[in-house]
Amino acid sequence: DIVMTQSPDSLAVSLGERATINCKSSQSVLYSSNNKNYLTWYQQKPGQPPKLLIYWTSTRESGVPDRFNGSGSGTDFSLTISSLQAEDVAVYYCQQYSTNPPRYTFGQGTKLEIK
C-alpha cells in the first residue's frame, strides 16, 4: 500500500510570510499513460468539511487564490502559500490517487497556524 507522509506535522508562520508543506509518497504517483501526477491538496478549517485546493499536482481549483501553489513530481510534492493570510489557518492534506486498483490515500495532515 502507498503511504503518504507530510512534513512538518505543524507549522507556525507570520502573516505575509511564505508557508511550505511537503508531501512524500512511498511510490510514484505518476500515471505513465498521460504523464500526470495524481497528487491533490485539500484544506480543512475547524468545523468545516475539506475543500479541494489543487489537483494534478499544480492545477488550482476554481476560486482558489493564486497564493496557493503546488509543485513536485514522482514521489515528492509541496504546497506553498506565498503570503500567509489569517484565513489560511487550517489543516492541509495531500492525497494520492492510484488507478489500478483505485486507491485514494491521504497524508496525516499538517496543521498551519499564525506565528
Partner 1 sequence: EMQLVESGGGLVPPGRSLRLSCVASGFTFDDYAVHWVRRAPGKGLEWVSGISWNSGDIRYADSVKGRFTISRDNAQNSLFLQMNSLRAEDTALYYCTKDKDSFLSGASYGGFDYWGQGALVTVSS
Cα separation of 21 and 75, whole Å?
Answer: 14
- Closest approach of Cβ 72 to partner 1, in Å? 16
Q: Does 71 bind partner 1 (CB under 8 A)?
A: no
- Site size toward partner 1 (CB under 8 A) is 32
Give the total residue count for the chain: 115
Interaction residues for partner 1, span 19-58 (CB under 8 A): 31, 33-34, 36, 38, 40, 42, 44, 49-52, 55-56
- CB count, 10 Å around CB of 51? 14
Query: Which residues are near partner 1 by CB under 8 A?
Result: 1, 31, 33-34, 36, 38, 40, 42, 44, 49-52, 55-56, 59, 61, 91, 93, 95, 97, 99-109
